[in-house]
């Protein structure tokens, strides 16, 4: 069953570092265990999100791409 995100964040049209900064700020306002869906069409955001979640320890549950738009599903872990 697909995960329904607790919160959605639209970063379409923005470029590095804004998708990461806005993801960080959104997660700060959420509870541990909650999930955030972030949409971005910055070609750099796939690598950026992978490296940022690896460093910060949040779970990157899903990455998929619809046309030019990436959809990231992140679970807050701490």
Q: Which is nearer to other proteins, 41 or 62 (CB)?
A: 41
Q: Which is nearer to other proteins, 3 or 15 (CB)?
A: 15
Region of 57 please: left (phi>0), alpha (psi -120 to 50) or beta.
left
Q: How far is CA 67 from CA 21, 40, 49, 52, 64, in A?
A: 23, 11, 18, 23, 10
Q: Which of residues 1-60 bind other proteins (CB under 8 A)?
A: 15-17, 20-21, 24, 41-44, 48, 51-52, 55
Catalytic residue among 6, 14, 16, 30: 16
Active-site residue list? 16
């Amino acid at each position: 069953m697909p995960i329904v995100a607790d919160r959605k964040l639209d970063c379409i049209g923005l470029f590095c570092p804004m998708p990461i900064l806005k993801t960080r700020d959104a997660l700060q306002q959420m509870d541990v265990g909650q999930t955030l869906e972030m949409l971005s069409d910055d070609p750099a955001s796939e690598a950026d999100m992978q490296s940022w979640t690896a460093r910060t320890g949040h779970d990157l549950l899903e990455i998929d791409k619809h046309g030019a738009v990436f959809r990231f599903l992140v679970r807050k872990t701490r």
